[in-house]
Amino acid sequence: MEQERELLVAYGQWRRNDSASAEDRLEQLVDIVAALLSRSVPADSMHLHELGDTGALAMAYEFEGRDFLLALVGRQEPPWGGVLVHAVGAARGALWAVLYWPGEQANEELVHKIGDRGTVLDRAHLEAAVAGLSPLADLVRAALRRRQPHVPLAELLGVDAPAAQQLELTPLARRMAPLPVESKTWAGVTAEVLLVGQSQSGRPRGLTSLPDERVLITCSNGLLEVDTGSGQARWRLLLPGCHGGALVCRDGAVLVMCGSALVRWHEGHLRVVAGAFEEGAVLLPGPDDEPWVLSGFGAAFGVGEGTLALTRAGETVGDQLRYPITFNAAVRSAL
């Protein structure tokens, strides 16, 4: 994960560097995009093109036997028609897309003009790739397969898709037959069965308590919100790869680990907050419920170097601050 963390640092510096010219920022972005693509495509297949005198650049590359071209458009008010004409010429029949990087969302005029000739990706797609939620080459290919001028990140990852399997939970009092369950732990604590559901292929991966006797259960498909009194359940977030307990913010947004990244879901909008965490990373509420992540492992018995660290996630990709911890044993959680 060291290279991934270094790229996160480089991206954070690029995003905050408002004093640099648009040309310098574009050149720095080319290096970031090249590093992201090199994780999936042969390095010798990548070639940089200038799109005429528009000030835009494009990266041509080969991915899984097909040719692609990704145009990097950075001007605030470019002649979109000229950019697209040059992009078509540089593509030479290859599949092509545009990465609009100045703003958080794709430019509406650019999306309108590209029509069905290609597709537009925005900063949310780029940050998802930087944080390790999904490879950039996969995101470009998936967006082009939709044959739409712009596909938001949430829709591209299937967040709005219907649940493959609706879970049904029943309060224990409604069951006709008794349910044999071990209710006492070795420490003397007594557990109470609230709800009973059907057997699942995968165990729940996390649990978060909510007001009004509700809970968020982290499943392999996402976050399931359950009323512990009635057993009614609905998908709060449908996103494969979620794990660990979620963190609910004061504004109603939900944070949860997904793969090696930390994502934020609020009012139908998905964005990545931080990333490049080792497998098994744990989301923790810090002071004022600020998100922190415990990741890595300690060097057991003093052999080798551990990667254990606490990371202050920050508000967006590139803001995270990592604090390494020296500890010669495994650590599962912290507070």
Helix axes 22-37, 123-130, angle to 10 degrees: 50
Instruction: Measure the CA–CA gap between 101 and 70, rounded to whole angstroms.
Output: 12
Contact 6/106 with Cβ under 8 angstroms? no
Mean pLDDT for the stretch of residues 33-57 = 92
How many distinct helices (H) and strands (E) make up the chain?
7, 19
Q: φ and ψ at 288, to 5 degrees?
A: 60, 30
Pairing assessment for the beta strands 95-100 and 66-73 based on DSSP bridges: parallel
* More confident of the two residues 215 and 19: 215
Mean pLDDT for the stretch of residues 247-276 = 94
Instruction: Measure the CA–CA gap between 100 and 85, rounded to whole angstroms.
Output: 16
Instruction: Measure the CA–CA gap between 3 and 129, rounded to whole angstroms.
Output: 14
CATH number, domain 202-324: 2.130.10.10
Mean pLDDT for the stretch of residues 214-222 = 91
Residue 199 scores a pLDDT above 80? no
CATH number, domain 2-156: 3.40.91
Contact 96/85 with Cβ under 8 angstroms? no
DSSP three-state, residue 32: helix
Residue 77 scores a pLDDT above 80? no
Residue 178 scores a pLDDT above 90? no
The pLDDT > 70 percentage for the chain reads 95
What does the DSSP assignment read for 233-289? EEEEEE-TTEEEEEEE-TTS-EEEEETTEEEEEETTEEEEEE--PPTT-EEEE-GGG
Mean pLDDT for the stretch of residues 317-329 = 91
252 bridge partner residues:
none
Q: What is the pLDDT of residue 162?
A: 60
DSSP three-state, residue 324: strand
Q: What is the pLDDT of residue 117?
A: 87
Residue 164 scores a pLDDT above 80? no
Q: What is the pLDDT of residue 174?
A: 82
Residue 201 scores a pLDDT above 80? no
Q: What is the pLDDT of residue 123?
A: 93
Q: What is the pLDDT of residue 165?
A: 60
pTM over 0.85: yes
Q: List CB contacts of 70: < 8 A, sequence separation 6 or more.
A: 33, 37, 58, 59, 61, 96, 97, 98, 99, 140
Q: Give the model confidence (pLDDT) of 287-312 as tens digits.
A: 988 999 999 988 766 566 788 999 99
Any idea where the domains of the chain sit in the sequence?
2-156, 202-324
Pairing assessment for the beta strands 206-210 and 47-50 based on DSSP bridges: unpaired
Residue 5 scores a pLDDT above 90? yes
214 bridge partner residues:
210, 227
The residue among 271, 276, 240 whose CA lies nearest residue 255 is 271
